[in-house]
Structure 1
Amino acid sequence: MRTLDWTAVCPLDRLDPDRGVAALVDGVQVALFRTGDELYAVDNLDPVGGAQVMSRGIVGSRGGLPTLASPLHKQVYDLTTGRCLDLPGVALRRHEVRCRDGLVEVRLRQEE
């Protein structure tokens, strides 16, 4: 898997805890989430429904894992791995995310 450069997206204080926000990073729609002290970035594209809606998903937990439920059909994804907990073989593409000097930055992971 190939990675691109870091892209500044928004100030950290613009991300409400346990709420998603969509951002366009190098032409890719990304869904960003802040849960406690952790940041997560995944594709905004729902792999089952095919719509750009994951930023509107429901943040929660299952078995101690931070999760995201699709707003379309409610499949639940592990935010740490992107793996769907309800449908084997289905996953969200995850991206690297960090906070540097108060700015949230994303680095896309590209399929080779």
Structure 2
Amino acid sequence: MRVEDIDWTSICRLDEIVPDTGVCALVDGEQVAVFRLRSEALYAIDNIDPHSQAAVLSRGLVGSLGERIVVASPIHKQHFDLRTGECLEMPQHPVRTWQVRRDGDLVQVRRGA
């Protein structure tokens, strides 16, 4: 194992995430929503919806609003930018983004990111 790989947690195989959907993973005791787009791009944000405090963002609808790639919360339908974590309707309530990568066929999230 390379030293630079120590901080990365394997979540699942890439083919276990259906394109344009998300999955939830527990990383260092925190729920992380990991999304795969049709383009094979990967994004990761906190799974907790800051408005409802429910762990649901991984089950939200993935799409775009203008140039922004977003997920819509399944509860109150707020849109979260997958690149920045910003809530488009309520910018004062963002979610944290996590570093995510593909290592071979594995999807990995960086711990403590």
| TM-score, normalised by the number of residues in structure 1 | 0.90
Residue among 64, 67, 72 paired with 1:64 = 67
Greater strand content? 1
Q: CA deviation at 1:109?
A: 3.9
Is the aligned partner of 1:10 residue 2:12?
yes
Q: CA deviation at 1:65?
A: 1.2
Q: CA deviation at 1:89?
A: 1.1
Q: Once superposed, what is the RMSD of the aligned Cα atoms?
A: 1.3
Q: CA deviation at 1:88?
A: 2.4
Q: Deviations over 1:33-89 (max 9, x none)?
A: 001221011111001110111111110100121101011100001111000111121
Q: Which runs of 4+ in 1 moved over 3 A?
A: none
- The CA distance in 2 between the partners of 1:63 and 1:109, in whole Å, is 31
Does the CA-based 8 Å contact 1:49-1:72 persist in structure 2?
yes
Aligned-residue sequence identity (percent) comes to: 52
Aligned 1:1-112 pairs, distance under 5 A: 5-35=7-37, 36-109=39-112
Describe the SS at the equivalent of 2:58: helix
Segments of 5+ residues of structure 2 without an aligned counterpart are 1-5
- The CA distance in 2 between the partners of 1:70 and 1:52, in whole Å, is 10
Instruction: Figure out how many residues of one structure are paired with residues of the other and give that number.
Output: 107
